Amino acid sequence: MVSRVIPVEPFDLVIFGGTGDLARRKILPGLFRRFIAGQMPQDAQIIGAARAEYDADGYRQFIKQSLFEFGPKDVPNDVTEAFLSGLDYVAIDAKGTNGWPDLAAKMRDGHVRAFYFSVAPALFGDLAERLHSHDIALPDSRIVVEKPFGHDLKSARSLNATLAQHFSEDQIYRIDHYLGKETVQNLMAVRFGNMLFEPLWNALYIDHVQITVAETVGVDGRGGYYDTSGAMRDMVQNHLMQLLCLIAMEPPAKFDPDAVRDEKLKVIRALDPVSPHHLVRGQYGASSDHPDYRAHVENRRSRTESYVALKTHISNWRWAGTPFYLRTGKRLRARSSEIAVVFKETPHSIFGPEAGSHRNALIIRLQPDEGITMDVTIKEPGPGGMRLIDVPLDMTFAEALGPEVGEVPDAYERLIMDVIRGNQTLFMRGDEVEAAWAWTDPIINHWGETKDVPKPYDAGGSGPEDALMLMHRDDRKWREIR
Ligand code: BG6
């Protein structure tokens, strides 16, 4: 059963970059779903703000098209119109004065004020400054900022400093949409809501952890951004790092923003630097139906990686000796994200060497087919002695929780509602982002300094051969991407 919907307080949400891709594909369709679910109060006001000269009606028509394309299907027209009637628009100049008095006039007293900066980070400072100089932001207003939050530690520090001139940390919501995914939150529920796992959750019992985020998509259409970023900045520094934190952190005393983020920060700070021998980067080649990576970017000799695999350790009492293997890549065999917590073998096999080696594994599948599987060793049924096999105890959420589970909100819906509620638990704190860059920077710098060329890998495969070797050398194996 999906939990019941509790309407949020009346709010004014201003989306800077209101005509952009993120607004069209994610933010507005997400808000529309919350409207349909009954979570948005009647007098909620959503204001698109961008350079384009729309009037409110023109903007509503523009967004209507996006809702058809990216929103829920088969919604009665009157419901769509009711949602659109809560939309307004201001043509605004982020670096000038145009539009700001109009925006100020539209804000309503008594409403929560939230400002979504869905624009290039170079504009964050201008927006923040004008929200104050035009008396639009109040002491309890919130701003939402998207990744990439900086390009490296230096730029992330400077962005944090810019925002801090106008907003306090408890007003800043840095989005990592992986934290809004249902199963990612389930990680915390599984770990801290059950007695079963926590006593075994350490280096004494856990052989290794592998985290995989595999995608089938390439960088088509986003080559300009992606080529300056690469998989390390685009996925590892944020999404994979967050998954690693949730798996490895100590139990926070309570499920509240600072308690959770303090524990995540300790994990990041305890991460060992990654040795170049434990790093693999790749770039996808062409397949029969898709061109290679370089066809999507300007630089035909680009050395940007579309794949990363690495091994790292967390130097603390709980995890010393347990390696964490991370991999992510584009144009791989399947869209499949999962975390596998692989336990050690039993200390002694009473069944003798012929029973083979067996390890329990807890698999948390993030997408698709969200669920949890526990590989358990049992006797192979039938006569003929004691042969052991591993079988999965499977809890696919869609089956276990009934058909309504299909209705769970997507990451953006949940996160935007959390902004309105003023709950920062699923958002990154400034120091957390900086610590993640401090760990990632030396890796990226090493690649630059050594002019490292990513290994080519087959589109539709499971990544470069060297990534298989990374595990193989340790007598371990990646789980199949499927
Ligand atoms: C984004 C990255 O943050 O996450 C994209 O910029 C990536 O490159 C996407 O494709 C993956 O998100 P999801 O939710 O589809 O796993």
Q: Are residues 253 and 295 in the same domain?
A: yes
Per-residue pLDDT band at 385 (split at 50, 70, 90)? confident
Ligand 1, atom nearest to 367 Cα: 16
Q: Tokens 């009492």 sit at which residue?
A: 317
- Please give the C-alpha separations between residue 194 and each of 71, 190, 210, 277, in angstroms, as whole numbers: 36, 6, 22, 37
Q: Within a domain: residue 164?
A: no
Ligand 1 center to 99 CA (angstroms): 33
Q: Are residues 134 and 270 in the same domain?
A: no
Q: Within a domain: residue 373?
A: yes
Q: Are residues 219 and 288 in the same domain?
A: yes
Q: Tokens 């300007």 sit at which residue?
A: 298
Q: 73: helix, coil or strand? A: coil
Residue 335 has pLDDT above 60, yes or no: yes
List pLDDT tens digits, range 236-272.
999 999 999 999 999 999 999 999 999 999 999 999 9
Q: Within a domain: residue 201?
A: yes
Q: Within a domain: residue 481?
A: no
CATH at residue 332: 3.30.360.10
Q: Tokens 């949730």 sit at which residue?
A: 246
Determine contact, residues 318/204, Cβ cutoff 8 Å.
no
User: Whose Cα sits closest to atom 2 in ligand 1?
Assistant: 234
Q: Which of 128, 146, 164 is the last residue of a domain?
A: 146
Q: Within a domain: residue 162?
A: no
Question: Which structural domain, as residue segments, surrounds residue 141?
Answer: 11-146
Per-residue pLDDT band at 357 (split at 50, 70, 90)? confident
Which residues are catalytic, by number? Answer: 239
Q: Are residues 129 and 193 in the same domain?
A: no
Q: Is 215 in the pocket of ligand 1 (CB under 6 A)?
A: yes
What average pLDDT does this structure show over 169-189? 92
Q: Within a domain: residue 423?
A: no
CATH at residue 35: 3.40.50.720
Q: Is 234 in the pocket of ligand 1 (CB under 6 A)?
A: yes
Ligand 1 center to 314 CA (angstroms): 25
Q: Angle 479-303-273 (CA atoms, 0-180°, nearest 5)?
A: 60
For every residue of 204-227, DSSP letters joined together read TTEEEEEEEEE-S---TT-HHHHT
Q: Are residues 101 and 216 in the same domain?
A: no
- Say what the pLDDT of residue 387 is: 86
List pLDDT tens digits, range 64-92.
999 999 999 999 999 999 999 999 999 99
**Domains in the chain, number:** 2
What secondary structure, in 3-state letters, does 350-361 show?
CCCHHHCCCCCE
List pLDDT tens digits, range 399-452.
666 655 556 678 899 999 999 999 999 999 999 999 999 999 999 999 999 999
The Cβ of residue 57 has, within 10 Å, a number of other Cβ atoms equal to 11
Helix (H) or strand (E) run with residue 128 in it: helix 124-133
Q: Which of 146, 162, 187 is the last residue of a domain?
A: 146
- Please give the C-alpha separations between residue 208 and each of 198, 312, 341, 345, 371, in angstroms, as whole numbers: 15, 10, 6, 12, 20
Q: Are residues 72 and 207 in the same domain?
A: no
Nearest to 412 by CA among 141, 181, 173: 181
Q: Which of 178, 241, 335 to mutate to test the pocket of ligand 1 (most atoms within 8 A of CB)?
A: 178
Residue 325 has pLDDT above 80, yes or no: yes
Q: Is 176 in the pocket of ligand 1 (CB under 6 A)?
A: no
Q: Which has the higher per-residue pLDDT, 348 or 406?
A: 348
Ligand 1 center to 412 CA (angstroms): 12
Ligand 1 center to 409 CA (angstroms): 17
Q: Within a domain: residue 195?
A: yes
Ligand 1, atom nearest to 330 Cα: 10
Q: Which of 175, 176, 177, 226 to mutate to test the pocket of ligand 1 (most atoms within 8 A of CB)?
A: 177
- Say what the pLDDT of residue 29 is: 96
Q: Are residues 110 and 213 in the same domain?
A: no
Q: Which of 146, 170, 194 is the last residue of a domain?
A: 146
Residue 453 has pLDDT above 90, yes or no: yes
Q: Are residues 216 and 277 in the same domain?
A: yes
User: Whose Cα sits closest to atom 5 in ligand 1?
Assistant: 234
Q: Within a domain: residue 174?
A: no
Ligand 1 center to 148 CA (angstroms): 11
Q: Are residues 224 and 373 in the same domain?
A: yes
